[in-house]
Structure 1
Amino acid sequence: MFLASISPRRINEPKIDSETKELTSCDIFDGTWVFDDSEPVYSPGYCPFVEDKFNCFKNGRPDSEFLRHRWQPHGCSIPRFDGKKMLKILRGKRVVFVGDSLNRNMWESLVCSLRSTLEDKNRVSRVSGKQSNLHNEGFYGFRFKDFACSIDFVKSPFLVQESEVVDVYGKRRETLRIDMIQRSIKKIHKNADIVIFNTGHWWTHQKTYEGKGYFQEGNRVYERLEVKEAYTKALHTWADWVDFNINSTKTRVFFVGYSSSHFRKGAWNNGGQCDGETRPIQNKTYTGVYPWMMKVVESVISDMKTPVFYMNITKMTWYRTDGHPSVYRQPADPRGSSPAAGVFQDCSHWCLPGVPDSWNQLLYATLLVSHGSLPDKSLGSLL
């Protein structure tokens, strides 16, 4: 099930044209990848804001065909990303990504995509001054000076608060407060115009998945709690906070779905691999297992009073076995002469430029559509 919602909020831009009007009856997340020989939105290796672990070109990835594919929805065409138009849409606004490192992947992609359109690249800068202390709290930001626009990231892999308790032996133990929103999130809603949330991958880690003595509600630490139940409780905590605190006439809310991983022959820390992949999965029929946590997300969002646009990227990322850093998450020297020798491969995140650029293209298309005064809700399409 595809769940989408568009707020009726206007942005001071012209009403939608015929190109974007076509999108209003289309599920932009149901489609396929097609070959496209166009250049990436920003050149590989030239955006200084891409972290080394996502910078596959800098780390020696020799192939580039993985950059030659664009997402094509069934039944409509989406406009190419236009950074200049996007910056006009975002003039005077603050965009905040909140979540785990997959959301950071998308955040860095957007910053680089927007930066590529500037004649003077020095007109975008990292947030500094008093706010620099926030880096210790997992806050990172960039400001586009000529547009008074901020694109920020707040690290919050669970969206709820990581904590600790003292056990009967006097030892401190980590817990996850599934009944409490993460403290750093509380600071964002008053001056954010667009907030893009995600959470998912950290819920699959061993400690979280086993759920033994880890999940906490109030003073109670569950001896054992199934991860699905804990995730559901945490999402309801997030949803209640959004409904109570975010003014939907001022702030647009997005939730990015589960990004597919492609480990074979093991997990990320147990020999899992994805190197050697150079093309997307060619099978046009989606045969992946739909993550249980996304069903929880869809159920929770459908009961919220706040309009939330759900970016259902699971299917589109399932095809892209070729887009991960794999062994090119680090330079050649640390990993040795044999690319796969003794190296943890990254088959969860994405090379930049790469797949997350398409997520931002869909974000851009969504903002274009929402320029008009459009209805609020639908299943299976943007409207």
Structure 2
Amino acid sequence: MMLLRSCFVGDSAARNQAEALVCFLSTVSRPETVHQYDDHVGKKFWRWSFPAPHDVVVLTYWSPFLVRAGGRSEDFVLAQDILFLDELNEPWTAEADAMDVMVISAGHWFDRPAIYLDNGLVAGVQNRPDVNRTQMSFLGVYHEVLRRTLEFVNANSTTDKLVVVSTIAPAHFDRRYSWNHRDACSRTALYEEGETQVGSTDAELRKAVLEEVAAAVVRWRRSELRFEVLDVTRLVAMRPDVHPGPHLFRDAYRDWPLPETVANDCLHWCSPGPIDTFNDILAWIVEVKSSVDDYNVPVDRDGRRDQVQGEGEGDIKKKVREESILLLENSVQV
């Protein structure tokens, strides 16, 4: 049996999904686990290897911005981040070509205060009124980072690969309480239809994934490289009832009452729970041919289009719009 290597790249939402997958796989095989930490939080790396006859490797790479970053993402004491938009040299990039399945899940860190550098120069800032530079939209930066990430994967893929980009999974901090109140996410039932809706920022982050994956499909998709969307935004927007909340550690409040002020996790998901549905959908994507697989645009690894096509930039943009509609209509969404 061929060794299957799957990696999850991004923020803690990526790690959450990887850990849920490992828990599920562990019901049939005990993995060999490697936890590696360098000097900084940003170099975190986990690896689980399931030996023969399963021959599956699951890896996670902490890279909340996908590109090189310094600041809070590596040291939580700091208040802002510095993003190097043109530097795709995070640890995951060295292993990208060796992966069979790559899941990219990032987005929760982009609305934080940041300084953006591109080609060695300050291109702008996000939420830094103290810095006399152009204020940039973090949504535009998110688009650009996704585009450059998918371009990098295309240019550095010499083996068969499935690239799956996950849409944002909304958090559920109850606005009636402060983030550290014991009831910040204490709801025990899911929302009824019509009781809630996806927030505007999360909707825009989801839209960015659909658009950038659609563009990657048009420009770079080939027989050995597939780009897909794992659309979980609406699914988890309906589930405020399955976060750890104040129960970050096992039996933390077993012997005494829960205090009114306490740290809460209203972003990540308990397992088993909805996070397992992410992996059910991922398994479906891996196993089942996508509904848009017959929409192929012949290009080589450098993005050069087949001479027969002969489209100009306007035609390419039209195809990107069409592909975005297809992804929106056919995205795997519960």
Q: State the TM-score, normalized to the length of structure 1.
A: 0.63
Q: Which runs of 5+ in 1 are unaligned?
A: 1-87, 165-172
Residue 116 (structure 2) pairs with residue 215 (structure 1): yes
Alpha carbons of 1:322 and 1:285: their partners in 2 closer, same or farther (altered >3 Å)?
closer
- Take 2:95 and 2:68, find their aligned partners in 1: how far apart are those partners? 15
- Take 1:175 and 1:150, find their aligned partners in 2: how far apart are those partners? 32
Alpha carbons of 1:284 and 1:142: their partners in 2 closer, same or farther (altered >3 Å)?
same
Q: Which residue of 2 aligns with 1:52?
A: none
Q: Which residue of 1 aligns with 2:330?
A: 381
Please report how far the alpha carbon of residue 335 of structure 1 lies from its aligned counterpart in structure 2 after TM superposition: 10
SS of corresponding position for 1:141: strand
Is the 2:181–2:260 Cα contact (8 Å) retained in structure 1?
Answer: no
Higher relative contact order (CA 8 A, sep 6+): 1
Q: Which residue of 2 aligns with 1:299?
A: 211
Q: Which moved more, 1:333-342 or 1:250-259?
A: 333-342
Aligned residue among 315, 318, 322 for 2:237: 318
Q: Which residue of 2 aligns with 1:139?
A: 45
Is the 1:286–1:315 Cα contact (8 Å) retained in structure 2?
Answer: no
Aligned-residue identity in percent: 22
Is the 2:182–2:258 Cα contact (8 Å) retained in structure 1?
Answer: no
Per-residue Cα deviation, 1:175-223 (whole angstroms, up to 9, x for no partner):
1112222421221122111111111111133x2xxx4xx1111222222
Aligned pairs for 1:288-367 (under 5 A) are: 288-290=198-200, 291=202, 292-304=204-216, 305-306=220-221, 307-331=226-250, 333=252, 337-367=256-286
Alpha carbons of 1:200 and 1:267: their partners in 2 closer, same or farther (altered >3 Å)?
farther
Residue 193 (structure 2) pairs with residue 283 (structure 1): yes
Is the 1:332–1:339 Cα contact (8 Å) retained in structure 2?
Answer: no
Residue type at the aligned position of 1:240: E
Is the 1:266–1:273 Cα contact (8 Å) retained in structure 2?
Answer: no
CA RMSD of aligned residues (A): 3.1
Alpha carbons of 1:231 and 1:367: their partners in 2 closer, same or farther (altered >3 Å)?
closer
Residue type at the aligned position of 1:324: H
SS of corresponding position for 1:153: strand
Q: State the TM-score, normalized to the length of structure 2.
A: 0.72
Please report how far the alpha carbon of residue 349 of structure 1 lies from its aligned counterpart in structure 2 after TM superposition: 0.6
Please report how far the alpha carbon of residue 246 of structure 1 lies from its aligned counterpart in structure 2 after TM superposition: 2.3
Please report how far the alpha carbon of residue 308 of structure 1 lies from its aligned counterpart in structure 2 after TM superposition: 1.3
SS of corresponding position for 2:163: strand
- Take 1:138 and 1:252, find their aligned partners in 2: how far apart are those partners? 23
- Take 1:335 and 1:220, find their aligned partners in 2: how far apart are those partners? 53
Alpha carbons of 1:316 and 1:182: their partners in 2 closer, same or farther (altered >3 Å)?
farther
Q: Which residue of 2 aligns with 1:193?
A: 100
- Take 2:46 and 2:13, find their aligned partners in 1: how far apart are those partners? 15
Q: Which runs of 5+ in 2 are unaligned?
A: 72-79, 125-132, 297-325
SS of corresponding position for 2:98: coil
Residue 58 (structure 2) pairs with residue 148 (structure 1): no
SS of corresponding position for 1:323: coil
